[in-house]
Amino acid sequence: MDIVSYNVNGIRAAIGKGLLNWMESRKADVYCFQETKAEKSQVDLSSFELFGYNSYWFSAQKKGYSGVAIFTKHKPKNVAYGFGNDDYDEEGRIVQVDFDDVSVISVYIPSGTTGDARQGYKMQWLDFFNAHINKITQHQPNLVVCGDYNICHQPIDIHDPVGNKNSSGFLPEERDWLSRFIDGGFIDSFRHFNKTPHQYSWWTYRANARANNKGWRIDYCMAFSTLEHRLLDAGIHPDVMHSDHCPVWVKLK
């Protein structure tokens, strides 16, 4: 199973920049999208369906904001939209599909860059999310959690760790949370195969950051440890430019 995760920063805008053609040539089995910024009814899905993809969307109540979706060639036996908790579901940040022997989640973790109140919400959200994932792995351990985590884990994952030490997305408490999440049984699939620096998945639109590769690695395909023997490869597509993010991917037996 070839799984791609991609924060598209507006799926309609990304389609206008060639997303559909790229998907058709990439031919992944599953695409996990974040920040779709659209309702399913606002997108012409006929071409996706022609290529064999079923899609499952969980959009924010606020129009043009947040939202996640999964496009898959394999029809799932079950789909879970949101957490089932009104306090956390209005922003449309998680959708899960269950296949016979593996489950895949597309998640869009909040950013805390707009101020202290939002950063506090992010940390509260992370604790709720971790508890939710722990419940799932107790009865569905073959889980891949793909998405925009809005956190760089280690100094190797950010172009300027010293200058960004007080920046949301690289705060000690965020990095500690991600360490605990991984220690709870998850494998950072990219780092499982690739230990080299300067590998990023997001670049600010400012100061020509992408051309100079001044980026952050905040997008992950986290696989639960029960899948370690099935991991074949993982990587990043920095040359794919429909968004300020780029796709990340993992392949399983």
Determine which one of 29, 31, 88, 148 is catalytic. Answer: 148
Query: How many residues does the structure list for the chain?
Result: 253
Beta-sheet pairing, 94-98 with 103-108 = antiparallel
Other C-beta atoms closer than 10 Å to the C-beta of 120 total 11
- Which token pair is 162? 């010293």
With beta carbons less than 8 A apart as the criterion, state whether 70 and 32 touch. Answer: yes
Q: How far apart are CA 195 and CA 197, in angstroms?
A: 7
DSSP state of 75: P
Selected catalytic residue, list 108, 149, 200, 220 = 108
Told to judge if 56 belongs to the known catalytic residues of this protein, a careful annotator would answer: no
Locate tokens 């979706």: which residue?
Answer: 69
The identity of residue 232, as a single letter, is L
CA-to-CA dists, residue 210 to 11, 17, 102, 155, 205, angstroms: 20, 17, 34, 18, 7
Between CA 252 and CA 223 the distance in angstroms is 10
Angle, to 10 degrees, between the axis of helix 116-139 and the axis of helix 172-183? 0
If one counts every other C-beta atom within 10 angstroms of the C-beta of residue 139, the result is: 6
**CB atoms near residue 229 (< 10 Å):** 8
Known catalytic residue at 108: yes
Known catalytic residues are: 108, 148
